[in-house]
Amino acid sequence: MNLDKRKQSAEREAVRVRNYQRARQRALVRLRQKYPDQYKELLEQEKAKDEANGKTWLDITGATANDLGIPVPTHGQDLPPRPKQTDSDQQDEGNVGGEE
C-alpha cells in the first residue's frame, strides 16, 4: 500500500512539472517574440555563465566538466564540489511508517 501511495504521489508530481514546463515554455516563446534583442542578450549571458561554471553538457549522457574533474574557474568563489546524486530511496531508510 505504501508503494501505491508513492507511485500516486510521483505521478501527481510528474503531471504538475509537465504542466508547469509547458506553460513556462509558451511564456518564454511569447517573451522571445516580444523582446528578441533582450532575449538573445540574456541567453548568451546564461550560456557563457554555464560554460564558465562547467555546467554545459559535453555529451548525450549529460556529463559536464565538473563531472569529469576538469578544472573550472570559480570567479572567486571557493565552493566545495557538489556530491553526486544517488538513489535516495536506498539511503538511510530509517523508521518508515512507525515500524520498529
CA distances from 53 to 11, 65, 67, 76, 97 (A): 33, 9, 12, 12, 41
Residue 6 vs residue 60, higher pLDDT: 6
Residue 81 vs residue 17, higher pLDDT: 17
**pTM of model > 0.85:** no
Q: For the segment 36-90, what is each residue's pLDDT rounded down to a tens digit? A: 999 999 999 999 999 998 888 888 888 887 776 666 555 545 555 555 555 555 5
Specify the pLDDT at position 27. Answer: 97
For the ranges 20-24, 39-43, 91-95, the lowest mean pLDDT is seen at 91-95
Round to whole Å and give the CA distance between 87 and 96: 16
Q: Where are the domains of the chain?
A: 1-34, 36-69
